[in-house]
Structure 1
Amino acid sequence: MEHTYHSSITWTGNLGQGTAHYRGYARTWDITLPGKAIISCSNDPLLGGDPTKMNPEDLLMSSVSACHMLWYLHLASAASVTVVAYQDNPTAVGEVLPNGAGRFLSMTLHPVITVLPNTDLDLARKLHDDVHPVCFIARSVNSPVTYQPRFIIASDQG
């Protein structure tokens, strides 16, 4: 079954003369979809982008992490592993070639997952292996995605 997704990207960086001069325009845009919050974006700060705005690299890495999380939560529920909190701080390594072309070399997810006491942690850990074959976003990127989960037992929290 196929699904179609839509988005609207609007460049907001015309500073008055369009792209007449390389440094005369901003690399900013908005992602807008009816009924959803606007996401104002910029390019990577390494390329002069606004560090307070999301950039394509942030969005891709976050999308991989979110997709992994959603599938993990689904698989945990199906396996009777009760997750009560999930937080991730993904990292990615990228490269830029002399001609300016770039890509991600790898992404690593670092989820911290809080589970109930008496949870089978081996099973909870194994569920991560079951995510990648079904995660829409991870299956769509060509760099390796790995994960280093850490588990917290709910009663250990203060």
Structure 2
Amino acid sequence: MHGEHHYRLTSRWTGDRGTGTSGYRDYDRAVTIQVEGKPELLASADRPFRGDPARWNPEDMLLAALSECHLLSYLHACVTAGVVVTSYEDDASGTMVLDGRGGGAFREVVLRPRVTVADAAMIPAAHAAHAQANEWCFIANSVNFPVRHEATVSVA
């Protein structure tokens, strides 16, 4: 598959409490993200930044994008290697460091996939498929911090 792929969405701030951004504490961080044909995603800032903890925040979405991209790339790598995956679950975590000037950056993300395969003979190839998945993951290839993998593989 070659070429360019384009993505579009609309982010709409819905947090005006009547005075706009007249002060740092005077507005809600509520955002609605829309992609045509998909359910709306209710988002906000993370709680430490005056956000609504019940809504998705950008840091959650970045971690989710990395986890899902690896999962989908991994399944493809397993099919290519003849590995039959029967279960996959990831407990991902990320570390963001603030710079003290109002900004910050992720230092790393660690994916912890727990994979179940159909046969014990598939375990070595199942482990190796994580490296291939990392090479194929569009999101991991787009970030400037390490995305590490601490995978376990077991037999169904």
TM-score normalised by L of structure 2: 0.95
Aligned equivalents of 1:70, 1:129: Cα separation in 2: 13
Q: Residue 120 of structure 1: CA displacement?
A: 2.3
Moved more, 70-79 or 130-139: 130-139
Match of 1:126 among 125, 128, 138: 128
- Give 1:11's aligned residue: 13
Selected match of 1:76 from 75, 78, 86? 78
SS in 2 for 1:22: coil
2:4 maps to what in 1?
2
Q: Deviations over 1:51-105 (max 9, x none)?
A: 1111000000100110000010001011110001111110001100110111100
Using the alignment, how far apart are the partners of 2:78 and 2:55 within structure 1?
Answer: 33
Query: Residues 82 and 101 (structure 1 numbering): CA distance in 2 closer, same or farther, change over 3 Å?
Result: same
1:55 corresponding residue in structure 2: 57
Partner of 1:140: 142
* Structure 2 spans left out of the alignment, 5+ residues: none
- Equivalent residues of 1:81, 1:119 under 8 A apart: no
AA at the equivalent of 1:85:
S
Following TM superposition, by how much is the alpha carbon of 1:116 offset from its aligned partner in structure 2, in angstroms? Answer: 0.8
Structure 1 spans left out of the alignment, 5+ residues = none
**Aligned AA (1:71):** S
Question: In structure 1, how many angstroms separate the alpha carbons of the residues matched to 2:99 and 2:73?
Answer: 34
Measure the CA separation in 1 of the matches of 2:93 and 2:77. Answer: 23
**Root-mean-square deviation over aligned CA pairs:** 1.0
Q: Give 1:26's match in structure 2, choosing from 12, 28, 33.
A: 28
Q: Answer whether contact 2:29 2:45 (CA < 8 A) is retained.
A: yes
What amino acid maps onto 2:78 in structure 1? A
Q: What fraction of aligned residue pairs are identical, expressed as a percent?
A: 37
Helix, strand or coil at the partner of 1:132: helix
Q: Which amino acid counterpart does residue 37 of structure 1 have in structure 2?
A: P
Aligned with 1:131: secondary structure? helix
Equivalent residue, structure 1, for 2:108? 106
Any idea what the Cα deviations from partners look like across 1:6-44, whole Å, max 9, x if unmatched? 011000111111111221101110111221011000101
